[in-house]
Chain A
Amino acid sequence: MAMRQTPLTCSGHTRPVVDLAFSGITPYGYFLISACKDGKPMLRQGDTGDWIGTFLGHKGAVWGATLNKDATKAATAAADFTAKVWDAVSGDELMTLAHKHIVKTVDFTQDSNYLLTGGQDKLLRIYDLNKPEAEPKEISGHTSGIKKALWCSEDKQILSADDKTVRLWDHATMTEVKSLNFNMSVSSMEYIPEGEILVITYGRSIAFHSAVSLDPIKSFEAPATINSASLHPEKEFLVAGGEDFKLYKYDYNSGEELESYKGHFGPIHCVRFSPDGELYASGSEDGTLRLWQTVVGKTYGLWKCVLPEEDSGELAKPKISFPETAEEELEEIAAENSDSIYSSTPEVKA
């Protein structure tokens, strides 16, 4: 019996979700942070999407958010010209780092000792989180606003993307090592440490480059403009989403489109695989995050696979029969929005 993907919708934000990030796997599970134009980034349990807390303090849209590896700290980048560092366990604000323009991107080093920021002032900044009063080190060179900045090669190098270029910098010397030029706007960038792979999206293209040399590895074309893509930890699949509101899943090796899902009511701005690869999360203009199973039908998190023969008491079954129209409407709504209510089993349908 074929199973249909049931996305889990995480509501709570009131404006578009523009960035999301997972933590590493911790003894407490793994976590998810979402950046939203409503200025209130949220922390969620990564495998269920359950809300844990909201980081309150920014006075403008939050454009970037990240967690450190063990999910003890969070960092956010906002339109109020600040980046903030938070205690991700208590929700308290630890540091406010003033910038001269909108901050778009933040990234912790593996040891959480340094924070990299980038934004509209075209400067990369490195803050020593053990010396919050000290001035950050600055790297200049970008000629347009920085959209994404990431540590790479065990924090010895920095990757940064502005509108039309991706640049590689050496951390110790603070100088540019290499750059890539694009004739279309770069929409997103993801760094995969195992294998040193860089995922870059621009236009309808999803491109994979070596993070060390920036040499191209391969690229795929999607049916619509893509805003974000993510590579599965085991590099079997990639997922991408963009302006046509749909999520696409591809086989990384062959480039074959495996699955596609409608569900969001607006363009998808960000998509990321969880650290264990069992699910991926998407954030959209519609203000929601959705969690999607990598293997549809597997029991994981809130998804519970029940074979058609089993009559599990856990799942609610309709006890009253409603007029035909209500059930048909239910099926239609279930088809478009399959996460809203439990659907009837095939026996009830007819």
Chain B
Amino acid sequence: MQTPLATPVPVLRLPRGPDSLNRGFAPDGHRAPLKPEVPEVLEPPESRESQEQQARASLRERYLRSLLAMVGRQVCFTLHEGVQVIAHFGATDLDVANFYVSQLQTPIGVQAEALLRCNDIISYTFRP
């Protein structure tokens, strides 16, 4: 039904997720009416907002590709209190909140499989 050469439909961005800080809804209690119809013509590329958005999009894409390049490789994580651990990177979850790693070398032994919370990671390095 879907040929392997078919291109996925491009998307402007992903749906925005919940704000973890509050419950949301219109701040002043009123909804914003729909903006007037935007013309089909693309915004001029010189517009600052679209440039910034472009930059954000390409930076995020580069980061995600870097995560892909890391899969299966040995990565050295620097955690709090100067702790450094080495592990094979497996995957991350949707919000990049956790890293799934294997063969995690810790000061108290090698953990076959582990989840590292990104909140606990200060930095990580690897060689592609």
Contacts and interface: CB of A to CB of B under 8 A. Distances in A.
B9 A5 contact: yes
A28 B31 contact: yes
Contacts of A297: 9
B13 interface: yes
Given A53-B25, A259-B1, A316 B54 contact: yes
A342 B11 contact: yes
Interface stretch (A43-51, A132-140, A211-219, A232-240): A43-51
B69 A302 contact: no
A160 interface: no
Given A302-B11, A315-B10, A342-B11, A12 B17 contact: yes
A11 to B, nearest CB: 5
B87 to A, nearest CB: 19
A346 B128 CA distance: 25
Contacts of A172: none
B24 interface: yes
Given A1-B6, A3-B6, A28-B33, A42 B11 contact: no
Interface in B20-40: 23-26, 29-34
A230 interface: no
B88 to A, nearest CB: 15
Interface residues of A, number: 67
Contact of A326 (B8, B9, B45, B65): B65
B68 A52 contact: no
Contacts of A316: 54, 57-58, 60-61
A28 B30 CA distance: 11
Interface string A1-29: 11111101111100000000000000111
A322 B64 contact: no
Interface of A: 1-6, 8-12, 27-29, 42-44, 48-56, 89-91, 259-260, 291, 293, 296-297, 302-306, 308, 312-320, 322-323, 325-326, 329-330, 333-335, 338-343, 345-346
15 contacts: A6-B11, A8-B15, A12-B17, A28-B31, A28-B34, A48-B16, A52-B26, A54-B23, A89-B25, A304-B11, A305-B9, A318-B61, A318-B62, A323-B69, A342-B57
Interface of B: 1-19, 23-26, 29-34, 42, 45, 50, 53-54, 57-58, 60-62, 64-65, 68-69, 71, 94-95, 128
